[in-house]
Amino acid sequence: MFDKKAKLIAVVSTVVLAIAVIASCLLFGGNNKSENRNVKETAVEDGSISFGGKTYVLNEDITSFLVIGLDTMEVSNEYDDHQQADFLMLFIFDNSSKKYTALHINRDTMAEVNTLAMDGSKVKSEKKQIALAHTEGDGGKMSCQNTADAVSSLLMGVKIDYYASFTMDAVAVVNDSVGGVPVEIEDDMTTVDPAFKKGETVILNGSQALKFVRARGELKDSSNAKRMVRQREYLTNLFRAIKQRTETEDGYFNGLFPKVSKSVVTNCSLTKLASMWENFSGFTNSGFPEIAGELKTGEKFMEFYPDKEQLEKTVIDLFYKEK
């Protein structure tokens, strides 16, 4: 049985995983953008695929973990969930190479999303913003699984092993636990907070952190792509602060645990989380791929359409190996 400290770290890691691993990718890794190549993907009978003149098979040593960020969490026995997945990041851990990658998925990405019946069974699917997948279901595991299914469909049907959703208010708690996080304001954001002046470096408190990572509609550039850039900047600096705090304060996780434990929904057991945390913490970064595409204004919302060939190339790079 895991000791008390290991259990605390395991549970907290469900929230901090979205912070520590993402940010370590940014801190210690390079940019792994896929090449622009005129290639096509075709499946063959033995389960392998032909891509760019080469043959690939699924990498069986891959473990995938989807992190879902929500504004609030309303788990209910009734089929009535209105929470959209505002933050989506898929971690891909390669157990053979001991490397990992974090794929930041635009919440406006147009994907096949399932409509669910009361028992969670699929009724139909339609193309809409991938963030809306979480609105189907109970707001808990059913909604998270539907989001994982939508991500899987987007990525050519690859398996999503585990998921963990967390509410954005958990970010504020972690932010304040390290005494604030510094960020550089690249654009004028004074409509969001008077302190967010262009060119200023601001040490964010918890409420400001939420404004910084959430802000969108009230800004001149209201695209989610711009918000994703801010989220990655914030997480990078937050990780630095967490790393420093854990190195100097033995009881850091112990004090943080009761404040964030209720903000998480996951299909991963406590034992498995502890095992994954111990195993993957020693992995090195293999890059931070970006999914290129076109942003369009839909009838009601912004819609992001991934470049099909570049998306296929990214999936091959992350989940397959040359035969």
Q: Which of 110-119, 196-205, 249-258 has the lowest mean pLDDT?
A: 249-258
Give the C-alpha distances (Å, rounded to integers) separating 288 from 92, 312, 313: 11, 16, 14
3-state SS, residue 88: strand
Q: Which residues contact 288 (CB under 8 A, 6 or more apart)?
A: 25, 26, 29, 30, 31, 32, 101, 102, 104
- pLDDT tens track for 211-265: 998 887 778 777 778 888 888 888 878 878 887 887 888 878 777 877 777 778 8
Handedness of CA 197, 169, 232, 137 (dihedral sign): negative
* CA–CA distance, 104 with 304 (Å, rounded to integer): 13
**Is pLDDT at 320 greater than 70 in this prediction?**
yes
- Of the two residues 117 and 22, the one the predictor is more confident about is 117
* pLDDT for the residue numbered 247: 82
**Is pLDDT at 93 greater than 60 in this prediction?**
yes
- Of the two residues 41 and 150, the one the predictor is more confident about is 150
Q: Which residues contact 249 (CB under 8 A, 6 or more apart)?
A: none
- Of the two residues 244 and 151, the one the predictor is more confident about is 151
- pLDDT tens track for 16-64: 555 554 444 444 433 444 343 333 444 444 568 888 889 999 999 999 9
- pLDDT tens track for 156-196: 999 999 998 988 778 889 899 999 999 999 999 999 999 99
**Is pLDDT at 274 greater than 80 in this prediction?**
no
Instruction: Work out the percent of the chain whose per-residue pLDDT is above 70.
Output: 82
**CATH no. for 4-179+251-322:** 3.30.420.590
Residue ranges per domain, the chain?
A: 4-179+251-322
**Is pLDDT at 13 greater than 80 in this prediction?**
no
- Of the two residues 222 and 11, the one the predictor is more confident about is 222
| Mean pLDDT to the nearest integer, 293-319 | 91
Letter string b/e over residues 143-162, b meaning 16 or more CB atoms within 10 A of that residue's CB: bbbbbbbbbbbbbbebebbb
* pLDDT for the residue numbered 319: 95
Q: Which of 72-86, 108-122, 184-198, 308-322 has the lowest mean pLDDT?
A: 72-86
* pLDDT for the residue numbered 31: 40
Quote the mean pLDDT of the chain.
Answer: 81
**Is pLDDT at 144 greater than 60 in this prediction?**
yes
**Is pLDDT at 3 greater than 80 in this prediction?**
no
Burial of 217 (0-12, 13-18, 19+ CB in 10 A): exposed
- Of the two residues 46 and 204, the one the predictor is more confident about is 204
* pLDDT for the residue numbered 83: 85
| Mean pLDDT to the nearest integer, 275-304 | 82
